Amino acid sequence: MGRVMIGIFALLNLSMAFAGANYNDVAHDYYRFKAAKSTPVDPCTPRTSCFKTACDLIDRFECDDMSEQENIRNACRGVWGGECITVASQVLGRLEYDDNEEMVQLVTSCRGVYDLECVRYSCGRLGRMGCDDLEEVLQVNRSCASAYPYYN
C-alpha cells in the first residue's frame, strides 16, 4: 500500500511539474486521494462520550440542569467522541472553558475534526502563546475541520 501511495505521489508530482502547479497543490491532491481510499468516518456515532467529556470538564453547576445539558447535547451533534474536547482542554487554561457557554463553543468547534494530529501539530507550530486562548483553539479546530478533505 505504501509503495502504491509513493508511486501515485511521484506521478502526481511529475504531472503537476509539467502543468506548472506548485507543491502545495500536489500535497492536497495526494491528501484527497488518500482520504478517498480510507474508510469514511461515521457521522452518526453515539454522542455520549462527547457529552460526558464536556460535562466532566466544566464545573458541576454548569451542567446540572436540563437546559444546560441540552445545550451540550446539541453542540455534540456531529462531534466524533470526546477526544477533540480533551485535546483542546489540554492546551487551554482551566478558566478558558469553565462555563457552559464556553464549553458549547469549544464542543461546536470540534465538529468535523476527525484528525486530532492536525490540532496537536497546529498548536505545536503556533507555540504555547499562540494556542492558549479559547478563540485561538476554536480557530485551530475550525481550520483542521475545513482542511479535512473527505468532508469538504
Tell me the per-residue pLDDT of 30-70, one tens digit each, with 9 for 90 and over. Answer: 446 556 555 555 555 555 789 999 999 998 888 889 999 99
C-alpha cell read off for 141 = 479546530
Q: Where are the domains of the chain?
A: 2-37, 48-147
8-22 per-position pLDDT tens digit: 555 444 444 444 434
- Half-sphere exposure for 50 (CA within 13 Å, toward CB): 28
- Closest Cα partner for 80 from 51, 37, 119? 51
Tell me the whole-structure pTM to 2 decimals: 0.66
